[in-house]
């Protein structure tokens, strides 16, 4: 199971105060129809089918019948050639909504199957991949953003902020092989959306149109946020992408999911007791829990005083220290629907940064998740 139904393996759930136990109990069920491959009709190459006696008349007869049969086959496959109509050459494959939904279903199924990873799901790291691909955007120069998938290349893939994202890229490789027509950049964003929806978050609309770019489009290091910083840094980084205070707080709710890893960022631990289910618990915990500096030799981070099993980054704590940010934390802590609505709106924009779409916003699609009714 890729989501909440799987027990949280690190034991934090057992320590969770009652009001923070994973609220969502829906089972992840996957409506991906099993593909059935009807057996191809067997060809009957019976040994005794070949003529045994050398009758030339019979051979001629067989030859003529074969020619006639071949002609009929050619006609039946190309009737327009004989009808006097203009024959248009078939264009390249143009994927439709159903094709992208099939990619979605395949990612969802892979999430369900690979429940051995981390807290039981690749979902959080897939979302982080989509966010780091998009969050390099600079509105002044129009550079960076989710077009290009340049994190595949050495300078950007090795940026400190992207440590650990190879796990997500490797997870998606077999899916890219299965659907070679989709660009890496569309696949990364579609998978981020799939991760959110399969972890019981809101629907995030999607439109394709991202193209992969070469190494020369890699963005310089330092465009993603640094967790050790304060509000000024957050406003500079997210302001460069075009986001305001409310949007910074709504985006940060993604930290209800996943965890920090000492071998990636250096920080350690999850933010909530249900790291594979999207809820507004991140905001509730920020406000209702007591937080203190963690005593350890790692980078400065906070831990909850009650269970010492949860964490907050310095940039997370800024959201309750800064008055302007705090009002939105309070709003989302009280109202999960308001959080889901604002989160969906801002993530849709985040994932489209820097993409020269040829279609309008009304061309966005919504994928069916495995929790939606058939
Ligand atoms: C506000 C500025 C932000 C900072 C400083 C920040 C920093 C971090 C850090 C240090 C980690 C731990 C990485 C690791 O050790 O594996 C992390 C994980 C994560 N971040 Fe953020 N982040 C920010 C905003 C966001 C946003 C906007 C999103 C998505 C919309 C996001 C989604 C995630 C997710 C899902 C994880 C968990 C990944 C996993 O479990 O492997 N973060 N973030």
Instruction: Identify the active-site residue in 131, 159, 188, 271.
Output: 271
CA distance 328 to 251: 11
- With a CB cutoff of 8 Å and minimum separation 6, the contacts of 88 are none
Tell me what pLDDT residue 374 has.
Answer: 73
Tell me what pLDDT residue 13 has.
Answer: 45
Nearest atom in ligand 1 to 227's CA:
5
Instruction: Identify the active-site residue in 131, 132, 255, 291.
Output: 132
CA of 1 to the centre of ligand 1 (A): 23
CA of 192 to the centre of ligand 1 (A): 13
CA distance 75 to 20: 69
Nearest atom in ligand 1 to 261's CA:
15
Q: What is the pTM of this model?
A: 0.83
CA of 6 to the centre of ligand 1 (A): 22
pLDDT digits (tens, 9 = 90+) for 217-232: 999 999 999 999 999 9
The two three-digit tokens of residue 158, written as one number: 């090795």
Ligand 1 mutation target, pool 238, 258, 274, most atoms within 8 A of CB:
258
Region 67-86: what's the mean pLDDT?
55
Nearest atom in ligand 1 to 264's CA:
15
Q: b or e along 307-326 (b: 16 or more beta carbons within 10 Å of the residue's beta carbon)? A: bebbbbbbbbebbbebeebb
Region 167-182: what's the mean pLDDT?
98
User: Residue whose CA is closest, atom 21 of ligand 1?
Assistant: 255
CA distance 206 to 17: 37
Q: b or e along 214-245 (b: 16 or more beta carbons within 10 Å of the residue's beta carbon)? A: eeebbbeeebbbebeeebebbbebbebbebeb
User: Residue whose CA is closest, atom 6 of ligand 1?
Assistant: 227
Percent of the chain scoring above 90 in pLDDT: 75
Least confident of 71-85, 122-136, 326-340: 71-85
CA of 73 to the centre of ligand 1 (A): 59
Does residue 271 have an active-site annotation? yes
């Amino acid at each position: 199971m890729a989501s909440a139904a799987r027990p949280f393996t690190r034991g934090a759930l057992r320590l969770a105060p009652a009001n923070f136990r994973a609220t969502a109990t829906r089972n992840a069920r996957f409506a991906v129809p099993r593909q059935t491959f009807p057996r191809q009709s067997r060809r009957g190459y019976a040994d005794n089918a070949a003529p045994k006696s050398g009758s030339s008349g019979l051979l001629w007869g067989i030859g003529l019948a074969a020619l006639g049969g071949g002609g009929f086959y050619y006609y039946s496959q190309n009737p327009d050639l004989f009808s006097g109509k203009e024959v248009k050459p078939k264009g390249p494959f143009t994927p439709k909504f159903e094709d992208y939904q099939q990619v979605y279903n395949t990612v969802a199924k892979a999430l369900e199957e690979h429940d051995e990873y981390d807290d039981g799901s690749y979902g959080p790291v897939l979302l982080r991949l989509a966010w780091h691909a998009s969050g390099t955007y600079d509105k002044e120069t129009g550079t960076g953003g989710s077009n290009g998938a340049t994190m595949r290349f050495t300078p950007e893939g090795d940026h400190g902020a992207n440590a650990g994202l190879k796990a997500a890229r490797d997870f998606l490789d077999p899916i890219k092989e299965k659907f070679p027509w989709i660009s890496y950049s569309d696949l990364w964003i579609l998978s981020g959306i799939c991760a959110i929806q399969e972890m019981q978050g809101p629907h995030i609309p999607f439109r394709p149109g991202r193209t992969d770019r070469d190494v020369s489009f890699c963005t310089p290091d330092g465009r993603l946020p640094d967790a050790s910083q304060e509000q000024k840094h957050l406003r500079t980084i997210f302001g460069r992408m075009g986001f305001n205070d409310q949007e910074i707080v709504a985006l940060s709710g993604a930290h209800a999911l996943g965890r920090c890893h000492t071998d990636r960022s250096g920080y350690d631990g999850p933010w909530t007791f249900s790291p594979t289910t999207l809820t507004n618990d991140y905001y509730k915990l920020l406000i209702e829990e007591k937080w203190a500096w963690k005593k350890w030799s790692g980078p400065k981070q906070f831990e909850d005083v009650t269970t010492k099993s949860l964490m907050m980054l310095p940039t997370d704590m800024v959201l309750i220290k800064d008055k302007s940010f705090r009002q939105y934390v309070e709003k989302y802590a009280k109202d999960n629907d308001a959080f889901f609505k604002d989160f969906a709106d801002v993530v849709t924009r985040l994932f489209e940064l820097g993409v020269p779409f040829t279609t309008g916003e009304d061309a966005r699609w919504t994928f069916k998740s495995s929790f939606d009714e058939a």
